[in-house]
Amino acid sequence: MARRSSGVVDAGTPGYPPGAFAPADPWDQPEDKGRRGKARRGSGGGRGDRGGWGGSGGRWWVYVGRLILWAFLIVVLVNGIRAPFQRFTAKTVTPTTPTSGPAFPQQAASSYALSFADVYLNYDPATAAERQKQLAQFIAPGVDPQLGWDNTGKSALRSAHVASVSAQDVNRAVVTLLVQANGRLFQLAVPVYAKDGALAISGRPAALPAPPRAALPAAGQDRDSALETELQQPLSGFFKAYGISDTASLQRYSDPPVAGLGNAFTFSALKEINAPHGNAVSRTVNATVIWQVAPVQSKAASGSLEQTYQLTMAKKDGNWYVTDIRGSTLPAAS
């Protein structure tokens, strides 16, 4: 029988013969102590001791979640402070308007073409040399000095006006004039070249037909005959004062008073009043007046001239007053 160092004889382990030792507990091995702790925590469903982690690492995920949340809040806070600061400190950028390139000088070319037409459409064999000299101020070197005229026949320009300018690029354009020459109305297309402020007629002009005449719409039949009769007396007095600039009478018939024609015309008759139906105290009407025109020579007979006006009328205290006078678009009756 073996004797322990303590001098006490082991009565044995229950289930084993006296003096025999039970098999060693595998968990008592130093390298297995960790596994034993895990097994005990797993079997109990809780913490093995106060210093360990709760089941399946739950508390570790809580700390990770808190860390992520705090990081998110810090990012939001920083951006919220930085954005207004950047708006206040950012420099204001003024958008720049793109500058357009050079354009064809339409106004200068129009005046140039008008002056040229006054020479081009006035010709006479007796003054051919003078015409060629004047044309040389407009045409480019190398161009026919008479621009196609054969030194025969006559032409006389009565009037010319710019109708349109068609620019092909910054240097070339066609200026179209509406002209009256030799008793006819037509258009004259004049080619003009421009470069660095200089101008030149670059080629022969071309005659084009005059614009077609437009057909007028039928005159409206909505007429207030009662008002037309009512306006006969005040408008006759108004136009009589209007022709000779009678200031006192103009104050009586117009409000505010209008300026007269300064004796340029003498009132003869009020031919027609055209007043459509409308407001009881405000109306726009048209009136045709027959004027006597003073002759240029004292012994010559005076002539008459019919003109149509558009008048804005206002009724105050039972009387009609002219508040505005201008030209009319009413089609002229025969």
Q: Which domain holds residue 136?
A: 106-209
Same domain, 237 and 155: no
Q: Is residue 265 a contact partner of residue 292, using CB atoms and an 8 Å limit?
A: yes
Final residue in a domain of this structure, among 179, 209, 239: 209
Whether 267 is covered by a domain: the verdict is: yes
Domain shared by 161 and 199, yes or no: yes
Residues 32/25, Cβ–Cβ less than 8 Å: no
Same domain, 229 and 202: no
Q: Which helix (H) or strand (E) holds 310?
A: strand 303-316
CATH of the domain at 279: 3.10.450.540
In a domain, 289, yes or no: yes
Question: How far from chain centre, in Å, is Cα 60?
Answer: 66
Residues 243 and 315 in one domain: yes
- In a domain, residue 142? The reply is yes
User: Are 167 and 129 members of one domain?
Assistant: yes
Number of domains the chain is built from: 2
Answer whether residue 257 is part of any domain: yes
Domain membership flag for residue 285: yes
Q: What is the pLDDT of residue 14?
A: 52
Torsion of CA 47, 53, 57, 60, to 10 degrees: 150
- Between CA 179 and CA 204 the distance in angstroms is 16
Q: Is 333 domain-assigned?
A: no
Kindly report the three-state secondary structure assignment for every residue of 170-182: CCEEEEEEEEEEC
79 is a domain residue: no
**What pLDDT is attached to residue 324?**
97
Kindly state the tokens that stand for 78: 């920083």
> Judging by beta carbons within 10 Å of its beta carbon (0-12, 13-18, 19+), is residue 202 exposed, middle or buried?
middle
With 0-12 CB in 10 A as exposed, 13-18 as middle and 19+ as buried, what is 95? exposed
**What pLDDT is attached to residue 58?**
64
Q: Is residue 28 part of a domain?
A: no
106-148 pLDDT, tens per residue? Answer: 999 999 999 999 999 999 999 999 999 999 999 988 888 898 9
Quickly tell me which residue has 């161009």 as its tokens.
143
- Same structural domain for residues 204 and 239? no
Sheet with 319-327, strands from edge to edge, namely 265-274, 282-293, 303-316, 319-327
CB atoms within 10 A of CB 223: 15
150, 183, 209 — which closes off a domain?
A: 209
Same domain assignment for residues 186 and 118: yes
- Alpha-carbon distance 198 to 274, whole Å? 53
- Enumerate residue ranges in the chain where pLDDT < 50: 1-13, 16, 19-22, 25-55
Please check whether residues 203 and 110 belong to one and the same domain: yes
Q: Note whether 286 and 251 are within 8 A (CB).
A: no
Chosen domain end from 152, 184, 209: 209
Total residue count of the chain as it appears in this document: 334
φ/ψ of 27, rounded to 5, equals -75, -15
Same domain, 163 and 234: no
